Amino acid sequence: MAKQYYLSNNGTHLGPYTREAVLNKIETQEQQWTDYVYDENVGEWVMLLEHPEFSMKLSKKNFDSVHKAYEKAALPAVYRDKEWFILKEGNNYGPFSQLELIQMLQEKTLFEYDYVWQSKMPAWQRVVDVEEFSSQKIREMKESNDAAVSEIFFRRRHARAAYGASLIVHNNKSVFRGQAFEISAGGAGVMIDNPNLQPGQSLFLHFQPGDGVPPFNAVCQIVSKQFVREAAATAEPVKYGVRFTTLSQSVRDSIKSFTTKAA
CATH of the domain at 169: 2.40.10.220
Residues 101 and 116 in one domain: yes
Residues 94 and 8 in one domain: no
Last-in-domain residue among 126, 157, 188 = 157
Cα–Cα dist 254/235, whole Å:
33
Last-in-domain residue among 157, 184, 209 = 157
Residues 146 and 65 in one domain: yes
Cα–Cα dist 70/63, whole Å:
11
Residues 142 and 172 in one domain: no
Residues 187 and 228 in one domain: yes
Cα–Cα dist 147/22, whole Å:
24
Cα–Cα dist 212/214, whole Å:
7
* Model pTM above 0.75: no
CB 91 within 8 A of CB 59: no
Decide if pLDDT at 137 tops 70. yes
User: How many domains are there within the chain?
Assistant: 3
CA-based nearest residue to 242, from 209, 208, 203 = 203
CA 19 to chain centroid, in Å, comes to 22
Domain of 130, in residue numbers: 59-157
Q: What is the largest CA-CA distance in the chain?
A: 62
Residues 230 and 167 in one domain: yes
CB 15 within 8 A of CB 4: yes
Cα–Cα dist 79/73, whole Å:
9
Residues 183 and 237 in one domain: yes
Residues 149 and 166 in one domain: no
CB 214 within 8 A of CB 206: no
Phi-psi region of 115 (alpha: psi -120 to 50; beta: other; left: phi over 0): beta
Which 3 state secondary structure label does DSSP give 252? helix
CB 206 within 8 A of CB 167: yes
Tell me: the pLDDT tens digits for 59-83?
443 444 444 444 444 444 444 567 8
Residues 36 and 72 in one domain: no
Residues 174 and 201 in one domain: yes
CATH of the domain at 3: 3.30.1490
Residues 34 and 124 in one domain: no
According to DSSP, residue 109 is labeled: S
Find the angle CA(139)-CA(162)-CA(32) to the nearest 5 degrees. 50
Residues 165 and 257 in one domain: yes
Tell me: the pLDDT tens digits for 95-120?
888 888 887 887 667 777 788 998 88
Tell me: the pLDDT tens digits for 150-208?
666 655 556 778 898 999 999 878 888 999 999 988 889 999 988 888 877 889 999 98
Last-in-domain residue among 116, 139, 157 = 157
